[in-house]
Amino acid sequence: MKKSDLENRMVVELRDGERYLVVGKIIMRDNCWLPIISYTENMLFANKNPETNKNLDIMKIYDKVLGLKQIGYTKLLWERKEKPIYTEGEIAILKALNLLGFERIERKTTDILYATKYMVSLLLKYSLFQDIKRCETKLIKEMLEETNNGGIK
C-alpha cells in the first residue's frame, strides 16, 4: 500500500502505536494532526533527520470508520513488514544464549526480558531488543537467522 492509496476515514497507526484518522490532506486524533504531505509515497515521515521522527512512520492501515470514537475497532488492511536490526552486542548475547540452550526471549508485563529454556527462565536485567518491545515471545534461532540476512546495525 502507498500514501496515494489512503482514503478519507481510513485509520493509520504510527510506529509509536498512536492511531490517526485520515481526513482530507491530514491525519488527526484528538488534539493532534499531521499533514499527509509530510510523508513519502512509502508512508515514511519525510524529515531532514529521519531518526528524530521515526516514530511518525505509518506502520499499519485500518479500514474506514465513521468517527474518532471507532478508531480502535476496525479491520487491519495493511502492515509494514520490516526486518529487525540488532547491534553487534545484541547478536553476541543471542549467540551466547543459543549456545547455552535457551530457546526464547520473552517480555513479561513488567517490561523485563527473560530468556527461557525448557520452562526455566534467565532474567535479562535490561531491555536490549528494541524490536520485541511490543511482542511477548520471540525464538532466539529466528532472531539469529534474521541477523544472518543483514540485520546488523
Q: For 39-91, what is each residue's pLDDT tens digit?
A: 999 999 987 666 667 789 999 999 999 877 888 788 999 999 887 666 777 77
Output the pTM of the full model: 0.59
**Strand extents, DSSP E, the chain:** 11-14, 19-23, 26-29, 32-35, 58-62, 76-79, 104-107, 113-117, 120-124, 137-139
Task: Report the phi/psi class of residue 40: left, alpha or beta, with left for phi > 0 and alpha for psi in -120 to 50.
Answer: beta
Q: For 120-143, what is each residue's pLDDT tens digit?
A: 445 454 444 544 444 445 667 777
Q: What is the pLDDT at residue 93?
A: 79
